[in-house]
A and B are shown apart, each in its own frame.
Chain A
Amino acid sequence: MRKFFGTSVVAVSAAAMLALAGCGSGRDGDSSSSGDAAKGFAANSLIGVALPAKTSENWVLAGDLFSNGLKEAGFQADVQYAGASTTVADQQAQITAMTTKGAKVIVIGATDAAQLATQVAAAHAAGAKVIAYDRLITNTPDLDYYVAFDNFKVGQLQGQALLDGMKAKKPNGPYNIELFSGSPDDNNAGVFFNGAMDVLKPEIDKGNVVVASGQKDVKQTAIQGWKAEGAQARMDQLLTSTYGSKELDGVLSPNDTLARAILTSVKGAGKPVPVVTGQDSEVESVKSIVKGEQYMTINKDTRNLVKETINMVKALQAGDKPQVNDTESYNNGSKVVDTYLLPPVAVTKANAAEAYANDPKLAPLTK
């Protein structure tokens, strides 16, 4: 028994030594205060990219572009997707892991924009810069930058294209149009609509453009859940109530899915095809544009968005302030986030081949 007593004393001291050796330094992490980041960081630093689940081709493409682009720029890239079922928890854990690994910049395509504030705060406290990619992260003062396409501009382009398209078909007004907007619970839907109205309102006031049904309020034009059948039903109704004898010249549609539903409705009623706008460059709509049915769509090229994000990372690495072009529009609930907005591109039949030249999926459709 006494012999073992000795053994255990050794064991006790060993355990104590182990404990102390592991932590003799006291608090760590003090050295990496966020002030250092202003002076840049090593050129081969780790850059974390956390993206939502691989549910759309767009995110898969963005992930590939980030891995290759960051590696080409000399960084170490850690690109992670959230899992299919536990998306938010996965993304939270991934961002935390990137912080622990000492990533200098973390790019986040948020799976739920409101549920990442804790992780963003921890990353910021560890000295990492946080860039929100495509989706603004809300309710955190620790978000550094936001990169996205200019959604107000999307609306403006749609409004302008609608006017141009109608003018090309019929040199003189007044033109009869109808307005559609996206789902009322989607923040972007209102932004698109306001952008379009920014262009259309002066023409409507002049009497050059007439909303023949009189339904101009966003509550009347909204399509719940961006549902195609909702848009089709509303268009059927409008055709019956308003366009018995009048001619419909144009329809403002916020995206491609709704645009195609509107066209289906008009064709079903046996009316001539009006000028219809769209957005997203969906394959079916690009085909429709080439065929001369849908008038326009918007191209938001993921390649450009990723390229701009990587440019931001490069600027941060060099210790410069990244280029931003909007310092007042994007309030996330805690602060106004410095934003770089990319211009979306309006695509019609005339410039489709040129606009999709770099897109392996859409380019063949335009030939």
Chain B
Amino acid sequence: MRAKLSVVALSVAAAFTLSACGQKEAPKQAATPAAPVTPAAKPELVVKLGHVAPMTGPQAHLGKDNENGAVLAIEELNAKGMEIGGAKVKFELLAEDDAADPKQGAIVAQKLVDAKVNGVIGHLNSGTTIPASKLYADAGIPQISGSATNPKYTQQGFATAFRVMANDVQQGKSLGEFAVKQGLKTVAIVDDRTAYGQGLADEFKKSAEAAGIKVVASEYTTDKATDFKAILTKIKSTKAELVFFGGMDAQGGPMAKQMKELGIKAKFLGGDGVCTPEFMKLGGPATEGQFCSLPGMPLEKLAKGPEFREKFTKKFGAEIQLYAPYVYDAVMVMADSMKRADSVEAAKFLPMVGKTKFDGVTAMIEFDQVGDLKGGAISIYQYKGGKLEYVETLGGANPVDSVKADVKEAVADVKDAAKAVAGAATAVGAVAVGEAKEAAKAAAEAGKDAVKAGAEAVKSAAEATKAAAEKK
């Protein structure tokens, strides 16, 4: 009987763990917004857009935020009424829940592929976006993520993968630079072992080590943990000046709090995953004065930002958590590409996604050859008095490119000037051969000066380029 009990107990424990996967699926139907009633009279072109984010589990609040961004965009598109190929288009959102779980992500991705969606917005997490992107690529369905920042997502060579924010190479670098600027010498790095957390922590580590900061501890947790005392105790013994966390707010908040409880004096720094109101709510006073980063510029500094915030809070009665504006832009870019291609067929409008030049809420959206946002900026924020306060923006608008353009222009100017001088000299020479020689010489001298000045300009511009490149 005893042996039997043990078998039963074990199998029950196993069944229970498995049931966790099953139960995550359960509320999916509830999460899918009811399709609005369609007037049957006019023939309409129904465009199905899939949206995937965790609607259950520890990141459900962020998933809901993303979905709200998509819902807002789709409502606006439908209200505005778009015509493609002569037919009125009605956008429909197929919202799916991946529970931030890579396995679940692939399952719902297949579901969307089977449902023959025209495009996919999402997923939220890098860890779910990357495996899902293969399924979309195989089916030729364009995918725009509004929040997956791991560089790998667009580096797999899929023509269908796009994102509307800077990736973690940029973010990790900027955070590393920022840590250096704060005069910190030692850092302990913690990540949650997800594609996002690990990727960000690795990029940060590279950038910090390159700048001479010493990494004194590398610890790991999971994206479901609530207790970090064991790893923080270990970090405490290393006397690190900074704790960097690659992960999400649901872990970051309690982590900051437990740092304080253990008497750790180190600063806390994190990426976009902890740059949320939720982080401060969960971390309490321990978050005061700490820093985090977000891709893009703060909404307040963007032309359409405040308007978007107002629309959003009015509609949902909730604060924007994190990526809602990016997801909103992702939907808009998808619709815009369809319009330019005058087709809703993935094969036809996909090439147009790559050629996007769309003035979105979050940025002027253009993609590079792999599908990353061109010139994505990273902004640093500080938690102050329960609010995220903007500190500075690093990178963005691609300074190297703009300086390069300046250099080109200067070079062209100099060339023109030289030509003009040469022309003037020959002309002068032709008119007056003898006496005018002096004058011509003077003119040539003047031309030489102009060329010299031009060269100087080129040189300084080149230096600026170099500096900018180094900074990057």
Answer yes or no: are A and B bound together in one complex: no
A residues in contact (CB < 8 Å) with B: none
B residues in contact (CB < 8 Å) with A: none
